[in-house]
Amino acid sequence: MNFYLPVAEMSANIVVFLAMGGAVGFLSGMFGVGGGFLMTPLLIFAGIPAAVAVGTEAAQILAASVSGALAQWRRRNVDAKMGTVLLAGGLVGSVFGVQLVGALRRQGIFDFSLAACYVVFLGVIGLMMLIESTNTIRQVRAGRVVTARRPGQHIWVHGLPFKMRFHRSKLYISAIPPLLLGIFVGLLAAIMGVGGGIIMVPAMIYLLRMPTNVVIGTSLFQIVFLTAATTVLQSSLNQNVDVVLAVVLMAGGVVGAQFGAAAGQRLKGEELRFLLATFILFVCARFAWQLIATPGELYSIGRVGAT
């Protein structure tokens, strides 16, 4: 059954995109990460214009994050003060990123720039996760005790100026690292159509030394407001948010996440990270091939910057 996507200006099979939303929802529920860094590439591979895929996925992430943030808030797992600092940086990065998207589209090089960003981003994340999970699996099989870094340990971050006290996280650290982290995640949200949780969560645990139970809620808290701002900016400045597509993806994602969460409980943490790293590297390789492969049509006629 086909339906028309008004912003993407194309007809598509609703079953395909429902299944795509369900598949990414399954992976998100299984691995415990947001699906933006998976969904945006899949939308592009399915023929959705890159700019529309980025803008629409920001809207989809917003809807998916609201319910999770509310649940974490009820459990008192949100450090609102830390989230506000992260959000302040995120809004700065988001504004700059949306303007950069518009500039790249006008130059006709946004598709190439997005693919290059994904190759670097997914390649680094995937390799780091693959190495860490492989080492952990080897240690577990060898009977060694795997120790994690403890929250609250003092590192170089704690020596920076402009310190603030974050009572919920039980931290007294400089506001500079979370502010810079927020700016970086804001850029990712605007340019790549991702929520940034896959960067935010590890950074808050290993760099800021926040308690793990507070990390997820605080990340979702700032992602809700950040993706809301990004969606509004993308829609008003670049006109690249397709609401019809976002609703279809949301419907599939809600169902898929339930099955993914159930499946994830049957695997160990290091095994989940290994599988996720493998999938990330596969998507990275697909983007890398897209950059070097000879296109099917060497020449095309169209307005520069058109979607």
The domain locations on the chain are: 2-292
Q: What is the mean pLDDT of residues 50-70?
A: 74
pLDDT(203) > 50: yes
* Cβ count within 10 A of residue 130: 17
What is the reported pLDDT for 75? 75
215-249 tens-digit pLDDT: 777 877 877 787 788 778 877 877 778 888 888 88
Q: Would you say residue 150 has pLDDT above 60? A: no
What's the mean pLDDT when you consider all of the chain? Answer: 76
pLDDT at 28: 63
Which helix (DSSP H) or strand (DSSP E) does residue 11 occupy? strand 10-13
Share of the chain above pLDDT 90, in %: 0
Which of these, 181, 188, 223, 220, lies nearest to 204 by C-alpha position?
181
Q: What is the DSSP letter of 216?
A: H
Compare 294 and 38 and report the one with higher pLDDT: 38
Mean pLDDT over residues 54-78, rounded? 73
Full-prediction pTM beyond 0.95? no
Work out the percent of the chain whose per-residue pLDDT is above 70.
Answer: 76
